[in-house]
Structure 1
Amino acid sequence: MIIGQYIPGHSWLHSLDARAKTLFILGFIPVVFLADNVWTNLFLLAFTLFAVKLSQLSWRYLWNGLRMILFLIVFTLILQLLFNRDGTLLFELGPIAIYSEGIRMGLIVSLRFFYLVMLTTLVTLTTTPMELTDSIEAGLRPFERIRVPAHEIALMLSISLRFLPTLADETDRIMKAQQARGVDLMSGPWKSRLKGVIPLLIPLFISAFKRAEDLATAMEARGYRGGEGRTRLREMEWQMRDTAVLLIFVALTLILFGLRGIG
């Protein structure tokens, strides 16, 4: 699990202001739904691969870290194939029927999911947790007028994101420990597998609560009392390249609108 980790580097993506990257991702979430044909998906796929190139991160590292996400992408594709009944019937075997629209929508939805996961992962890999927290807090700061705790919400989101790889490692350790004690999680009927998950979930929840308690104790011991009156060691600085990111997003949106009318 690499989502939530930070890889130090000197790439163009690393040098961007965290606020620019956060704004780009928030805007990209609705824009990705403009990809509904071959040309828009080819364009977004090329854009995503180009963003990976700009990050200067290893392709092997990204693939190894996102292999578990591949299961969700394939699962989404299978759901569309089995339950989408629009278009021309291409294959039928008993209750299983595959239609042309099911294949088309399955590929489109799976690719959209891939774009979102890949670009969101690039943001977390090229942005330190502190910078990410500051960018989220900066976005929520206008809502402080209506008593929204911007700093606390940003801190919770950042901690949650940071603990994703930690919990994934903890899950892997617990699985290996349970398998060493004879618990079979990989074979047998579904009922047996579900029963085998219980010895996995209970220690995982206990470990998560223990980590949360230790973190709260450590923050209190260091004098943390919320965001009021706190200062920052490093102030964020908006530069021309950050403005260029927003202009790239506008151009991306316009190109997708144009490509939607093709074919």
Structure 2
Amino acid sequence: MTLLDSHARTGTVARINPVAKLGASALIAIPLVLTLDWLSAAIALVLELALIPFAGLGWREFWVRTWPVWLAAPLTGLTIALYGEASGTVYVDWFVVHVSDGSLELALATMLRVLAIALPSVVLFVTVDPTDLADGLAQVVRLPARFVLGALAGLRMVGLFLDDWRALELARRARGVADRGRIRRFLGMAFALLVLSIRRGAKLATAMEARGFGAPVRRTWARESRFGAREWALMALGLGIALTAVAASVVFGTWNFILGPGA
């Protein structure tokens, strides 16, 4: 465990059930997905940034975790600004590039929406353990145990997948077959890894069946997944952010329903 991981796990949000984190992220994201206006996304983003210090993340850790989001959002906005639908005053009109008032406003709304949706998801899931999430999905949401445990087992295999890729690469280099032909080498390694993954998956499925993971009876759990006051409070915060953003957008007339006639 890294220093960032140990620091993150001491925060207020660290002990909250992962199902509540998933629900709060969904409550924030769904209204923002349904509209494409800058005001609702901006209000949601401001409220989220005000609450992030209470998540137990230091600012250095926050930037380390979220820098891909801060990089992707402006790039997404730039694409919309250059190639979005032109409306209002046109500033640049060259070939397929159309920069206008409408495309710039749409670019700003898109950039803010990406930030408002992605940032809380990243911050909330920094401290989520896959096993805790599986416990919550099975015990709280009541998803089928067979599906949840299979997904958890597959997720746990990701680390082995990466180790196998490195081992294959080193083995091919030791045999002198990895010095040239990068595309051919990649395709060969990908096929070998696919075969290895299928074999390992079949063995893992057999082992899990032998241990009774697929038995048609009500199973017991080693750890109880609780959903109490802290979880409901986090869900309420997510709902409050979404309702505030939507209400402000409707009041000031910027609401732009993506499935409406004007979309």
Note whether the superposition's TM-score is higher than 0.5: yes
Alignment of 1:191-210 (within 5 A): 199-200=185-186, 202-204=188-190, 206-207=192-193, 210=196
Counterpart amino acid of residue 27 in structure 1: L
Alignment of 1:70-219 (within 5 A): 72-87=72-87, 88-138=89-139, 141=142, 150-159=144-153, 181=179, 199-200=185-186, 202-204=188-190, 206-207=192-193, 210-211=196-197, 213-214=199-200, 217-218=203-204
Q: Distance in 1 between matches of 2:200 and 2:6?
A: 22
Task: Say if 1:153 and 1:21 are closer, same or farther in 2 by CA, change over 3 A.
Answer: same
Q: Which runs of 5+ in 1 are unaligned?
A: 142-148, 184-195
Match status 1:232 vs 2:182: no
Counterpart amino acid of residue 152 in structure 1: R
Identity of aligned residues (%): 16
Alpha-carbon displacement from aligned partner over 1:24-69 (angstroms, at most 9, x marks no partner): 2232331223664444233222233345423323444454455455
Q: Indicate the RMSD between aligned Cα atoms, in angstroms.
A: 3.9
SS at match of 1:97: strand
**Cα distance, 1:106 vs structure 2:** 2.1
Alpha-carbon displacement from aligned partner over 1:103-143 (angstroms, at most 9, x marks no partner): 222232233223333322233322211111122224653xx
Alpha-carbon displacement from aligned partner over 1:140-179 (angstroms, at most 9, x marks no partner): 53xxxxxxx712332344455566677678889999999x
Q: Distance in 1 between matches of 2:106 and 2:231?
A: 34
Task: Say if 1:26 and 1:208 are closer, same or farther in 2 by CA, change over 3 A.
Answer: farther
Instruction: Work out which of the two has the higher radius of gyration on C-alpha atoms and give 1 or 2.
Output: 2
Q: Distance in 1 between matches of 2:187 and 2:65?
A: 22
Q: Distance in 2 between matches of 1:113 and 1:232?
A: 37
C-alpha contact (below 8 Å) 1:22/1:136 kept by paired residues: no
Which of 244, 248, 260 aligns to 1:259? It is: 248
Q: Distance in 1 between matches of 2:15 and 2:100?
A: 46
Query: What is the TM-score with the length of structure 2 in the denominator?
Result: 0.69
Task: Say if 1:71 and 1:38 are closer, same or farther in 2 by CA, change over 3 A.
Answer: closer
SS at match of 2:91: strand
